[in-house]
A and B are shown apart, each in its own frame.
Chain A
Amino acid sequence: MKTIKVDYLARVEGEGAVRIRFRGDRVRDVQVRIFEPPRFFEAFLRGRSFTEVPDITARICGICPVAYQMSSCAAMEDALGVAVSPAIANLRRLFYCGEWIESHTLHIFFLHAPDFLGYPDALAMAREHREMVAAALAIKKAGNAIVRAVGGREIHPINPRVGGFHSFPPRSALRELLAELQRARQSALDALEWLSRLNYPDFEYDYELVAVDAGDQYPFIGTRIISNRGLNISVRDYERHFQEHQVPHSNALHSRLKERGAYLCGPLARFNLHFDKLSAETRAAARRAGLEPPCRNPFKSIMVRAVEVAFALEEAIALIDSYDGSGQAFVQAPAAAAAGYGASEAPRGMLYHRYRIDDAGIIRDARIVPPTSQNLASMEADLTRIAPRMFALTHPQATALAEQTVRNYDPCISCATHFLKLTIERE
C-alpha cells in the first residue's frame, strides 16, 4: 500500500493535513484533516450583546474578517427588522470589494501560483517573476487601502456596526484611492492574462454550485441562496436544506445538501451562477483568458479569482465615484427577542450566520457555517478523483498535486475549526 501524506499543509490559512491511502491501484481513502485546536466562538457569543457580533466574529478569521462582520450584521438586522439605506448598502459593497481584492490576490500569487510554477513560495517566485509579484503586492495593497479607509484598519476593522457603520468616511478619503485602484485594475487584467498562460491539469467535474443571490448584482450580501440544480431558497431556510454530517474517515464535519450531498461554493460557483452580472468589459477579459460558464475545472479557480479581483476593482471605482459621504451612517436597532439569519459571500464562499437573542438583546444561541466546512466534502471528492493520476508521478510531484488540489478551494482552516466538530486522531 502506498500513502501520500502532507503532514502540514503550507500556504493555507490555519493548520491541516492531507492523507491519501492506496490499496494496489485503488484509492482506499482520502482525508483532509484539520488539527487546528478547537475554538469556541458559538459558546463565547452566548451572553454577549447583539451589538458585539461584528467585533467578536471578526476574530474568527484574520483573513476574511469583513465577511464575518457583514454576515453577522445581516443576521442581526434580519432579527430586528432593520433595513439599511442604499448609502449604507453601497458602502458595505465597497468594503467587501476591498476584502475580495486583498484576500484573492494573496491567494492567487502567494498561496496558489507557486504550485503552478513549482516554487516553494512567492518570494522564491519573485526572483524570476519580480514584476508580477510586485504588481500583485500593489493590487493587494489597493484592496487593503479600501478596507482601511472604510473600516479603520485592514485586519479586524472597527467601523462596521449592526445597522451600518459608526461613521461614514469622508468623501476625500475614498476619492484619493481612485488613481491607485485604476492602476490596480489594469494590473489585475494583466495578471489574468499571465495566469491564462499557466498549465492547467485537464480535470473537470459537474459540481452542484451554490452561491448567495443578490438580485441583479454580482453577490456580496444577499437574502437568497441559489444553485445550478434548481435550489432557490431564502437564507432563513438554509438549515432546512443544508446539514452537517460527521464523516467517519475524516473526523470533520462536512456540510451537505440534504437532498443531493456535496456541493461547491466560492469563486467558481459565483462565476458560473452570476456571470451575466459582471460588466461587459470584465466578461470580455474572462473570455480572452478562455473562461466562460460552464467552467468546471477547479484548478481554473485561480483565474476566476483574478476575474473577481478585476470586477471588484471596477465596482469599487464606481461606488467611490457615486459616494458622497452624507446621511445617517447607521440605523438604530432597538433590542427585541428574535431570531435572525444572514449570508454573504466571503472570498472563499458562502458564510452563514444565525442568532437567537432575547428581549434585552443578549445572544442566547449562535450558529456559524463558514465556507471551508461547506467545501470540505468537495475537496475530498476532488482528491479522490485526481488520486489515480498520482501513480504516474514521483512522490514529491504527487504530493504537490494533492496540495494544489486542496488550494483550489482557498481553504481557511482557522475559520473551519471554530465550528467544525473537530476530533484529534490519536495514534
Chain B
Amino acid sequence: MPRSRRAKLAVWKFTSCDGCQLSLLDCEDELLELAREVRIANFLEATRAQLKGPYDLSLVEGSITTPADAERIRDIRRRSRALVTIGACATSGGIQALRNFKNVPEFIAAVYAKPQYISTLSTSTAIADHVPVDFELRGCPIDKRQLLEVIGAFINGRKPSIPAHSVCIACKRSGTVCVMVAKKIPCLGPITHDGCGGICPAYGRGCYGCYGPAETVNAASLANAWHAAGASKAQMHRALRSFNANAGEFRAAAEKLDEDD
C-alpha cells in the first residue's frame, strides 16, 4: 500500500499492566509486516516517534481510575475514527474494579504513607462508560490472534469476526474433557466468553473467568453446580470478583450471592 494511504494506528495506555499492548509486540511473525501495512502513529511502549491525529484506529488498554484520565480518553476519542478497547481493564474496569466494592480512602491509607497526595477515583471503569467504543476485545490478557483479526477488520472496513460463545464450546471443539463433570473442579467456563480456546480446563484446572461473561448466561444455575461440586459460596464469590468483577453478569451474580446470605 502507498505510504501516504496507510492507516494510522495508535495504542493508548490507561491503568493497566501493559500486557495487552505487549500482545502486539508478541506477534513476532506478523509485526514487521503489520508495520508496513499501517503507520504506527502512537505506541509509547514501542517508540518515541509520535504522529498527530486523527488516527484511523485507536487501541485502548487500561481502565479509567483518575480524573485526568477521564479527560484524556475524551480527547483521544475526538481524534480517533475508530476506537477499540483491548482487554479486561478497558472493557470492564479489570482487576482494578475490585476497588468499586470497597472503601477506597481506607485502601489508600493502608497502602500509601501520605494519602493526601494520591489522586485517584474511587472506581475503576470501562472506557465505554466514558466515550462511545466501536468494538470491545475481551480477555485478561487478550488473545493476539484475535487482536490481529480486529486490526485487520478495522483497517479494511469490515466487522471483526470474534465469536461470543462460552468457554464450554471451546472445550467441546478441542476435545477437552469437562473438568467439572469428570473431576468436580469448579469452573466458570459455562458463563465465560471464549477467546482463550479453553486453556485452563486443558491444563486440568477450572476456568477463572478472565474473558468476562459470555452472551446469555445462566449464573444462578452455575452457582448450583458449584455448590454440588463442593465449592463454598465464598469461593464462587471470589471467582466472580476477580478480573472482570464489574462486568454486568459477573457483577450481578456476585450481588445475588450477597443477597442470599
Task: Name A's B-contacting residues (CB within 8 A).
Answer: 8, 10-15, 36-40, 42-44, 48-49, 52, 55-56, 59-63, 65, 106, 110, 120-124, 126, 130, 133-134, 137-138, 140-141, 144, 152-156, 158-159, 161, 165-167, 246, 251, 253, 403, 414, 419, 421-424, 426
Contact = CB atoms under 8 A, between A and B. Distances in A.
A253 B118 CA distance: 14
B196 A153 contact: yes
Contacts of B204: 166-167
Contacts of A133: 32
Nearest to B208: A55
Given A10-B48, A13-B45, A37-B65, A137 B120 contact: no
Given A43-B111, A59-B243, A124-B49, A152 B32 contact: no
Q: How big is the B interface, by class?
A: 35 or more
Contact of B19 (A39, A63, A246, A253): A63
Interface stretch (B91-99, B160-168, B215-223, B247-255): B91-99
Interface string B6-24: 0000000111111111110
Nearest to A400: B48
Interface in B45-95: 45-49, 65-66, 69, 94-95
B41 to A, nearest CB: 12
A201 B32 CA distance: 30
B25 interface: yes
B129 interface: no
B114 interface: yes
Q: 7 closest pairs, A vs B, by CB?
A: A62-B19, A121-B47, A423-B117, A10-B48, A120-B49, A141-B28, A155-B141
A37 B69 contact: yes
B44 interface: yes
A294 to B, nearest CB: 32
B66 to A, nearest CB: 5
Interface in B113-167: 113-114, 117-120, 140-141, 144
A126 B113 CA distance: 45
A155 B19 contact: yes
A243 to B, nearest CB: 13
Contacts of B69: 37
Contacts of B242: 52, 55-56
A14 B18 contact: yes
A406 B31 CA distance: 26
A59 B18 contact: no
A12 B22 CA distance: 11
Given A44-B98, A137-B32, A159-B203, A154 B26 contact: yes
A156 B210 contact: yes
B235 interface: yes
A110 B43 CA distance: 12
Nearest to B196: A153
B238 interface: yes
Contact of B112 (A13, A52, A140, A421): A421
B107 A40 contact: yes
